[in-house]
Amino acid sequence: MLILVDENMPYVEPLFADLGEIVAVNGRSLTPEQVKDADILLVRSVTRVDAALLAQNSRLKFVGSATIGTDHIDLDYLASRAIPFANAPGCNAIAVGEFAFIAMLELAQRFGETLKHKTVGIVGAGNTGTAVANCLKAYGVRVLLCDPLLAQSGDEREFIGLDELLTEADVISLHVPIIKTGEHKTHYLFDEARLKCLKPGAWLLNCCRGEVIDNRALIRVKQQRQDLKLVLDVWEGEPRPMAELVPLVEFATPHIAGYSLEGKARGTFMLYQRLCQLLNLAADKSLGKLLPSFAVDSLALTAMPDERGLLQLARLVYDLRDDDELFRKHFADEQGFDQMRKNHRHRREFSALTLVYQGQSEVDWLFKLGFSGVGR
């Protein structure tokens, strides 16, 4: 069995080697010719899987995408050919949640403000939006949610409309899929008119899909509003972000919000489980065994961290400033965006860091945030 796999998918060898021959390929430039003889195709978000790519293949038994988003997959086409498909919903939600939370802590530090005193509006309250909300709530930040689809579906959390959220929120974090048409269209959800409605001094974070914000409008609005602070992990026109936009952004990264080692491993593992199920095989490998231990064995807390201390703890796990610096140096290089993603040094999630503490109750919030803990 030939298993064609994106070269940027970790842990493929230990999970899939027993199932067939693995061939790693560049997902961005994958051709129909390369796919022709594949039995299994495992991709990431940069591969458009459609009739054009699969035209020469008549033996494909499974397509898997180790991602949350499915906008790169022609699901109708796969269904028309009865090719089973799986993605990995939720695999990197914690990574995105922690990324957005850390970015907010960084902004607060940079501008001498306090995150804890802000109101954060989350647009899209699914897996990743909820993960950000969980971090913020653990830390005691007021959170507002906007998700008309979940509101209609009977989700019992409190939701508000987008216009109300824009009036109330000091910080807005975007977590919707890209939807190009219909009542809940998210393409250019943040157009010029909406961007102009952001509160004075607002922070806007985009960790979902670049085209949820009209990037040209963002340039125009930001050029007139120095007060706005931007964090962009995703860009209209990836892998070529608009060069004029980058200097206007406080923290700029190459679509790596979901790139924790745990998140990427979970993505590959979910596809392994689904394929085993399809092939009627026991999924006998374990995810826990794949992950290395964290560089810091454990850390003893001697005092309750304030917001600055919390940022220091977070930076021990992931220092966002490193990726921002690399991005500014390399985003305009030929292949720069993709090379940064390919060579990304996968960060760990908060859970990789064990905090040693005395007196459970006062530091409970750190464990709710995701850090691991042991008593002393």
Ligand X SMILES: O=C(O)[C@H](O)[C@H](O)COP(=O)(O)O
Instruction: Return residues touching ligand X (CB under 6 A).
Output: 8, 44-46, 67-69, 92, 255, 258
Q: Which H/E stretch holds residue 375?
A: strand 372-375
Residue 42's binding partner out of ligand NAD, ligand X, none, with CB under 5 to 8 Å set by partner kind: none
Q: What whole-number distance in Å separates Cα of residue 124 and Cα of residue 54?
A: 32
Is 255 a binder of ligand NAD (CB under 6 A)?
yes
Burial zone of 237 (CB within 10 Å; 0-12 exposed, 13-18 middle, 19+ buried): exposed
Is 154 annotated as ligand-binding? no
Which residue of the set 28, 255, 274, 347 is catalytic?
255
Nearer to ligand X, 199 or 342 (CB): 342
User: Nearest approach, Cβ of 208 to ligand NAD (angstroms)?
Assistant: 4
User: Nearest approach, Cβ of 268 to ligand NAD (angstroms)?
Assistant: 15
C-alpha distances (whole Å) from 321 to each of 60, 103, 251, 350, 362 are: 42, 9, 7, 17, 29
Query: Is residue 156 annotated as part of the catalytic site, yes or no?
Result: no
Q: Is 375 left (phi over 0), alpha (psi -120 to 50) or beta?
A: beta
Is 239 a binder of ligand NAD (CB under 6 A)?
no
Do 320 and 106 contact (CB within 8 A), yes or no? yes
Nearer to ligand NAD, 57 or 130 (CB): 130
Q: What whole-number distance in Å separates Cα of residue 252 and Cα of residue 246?
A: 7
Which residue of the set 194, 209, 266, 341 is catalytic?
209
CA–CA–CA angle 273, 274, 278 (5° rounding): 120
User: Nearest approach, Cβ of 195 to ligand NAD (angstroms)?
Assistant: 16
Is 15 a binder of ligand NAD (CB under 6 A)?
no
Query: Is residue 187 annotated as part of the catalytic site, yes or no?
Result: no
Query: Is residue 209 annotated as part of the catalytic site, yes or no?
Result: yes
Which residue of the set 168, 192, 238, 250 is catalytic?
238
Nearer to ligand NAD, 15 or 172 (CB): 172
Q: Is 370 helix (H, G, I), strand (E, B) or coil?
A: coil
Do 218 and 195 contact (CB within 8 A), yes or no? yes
Binding mask 117-146 for ligand NAD (x = CB under 6 A): ------xxxxxxx----------------x
Active site residues: 209, 238, 255
Residue stretches of the annotated binding site for substrate: 45, 67, 259
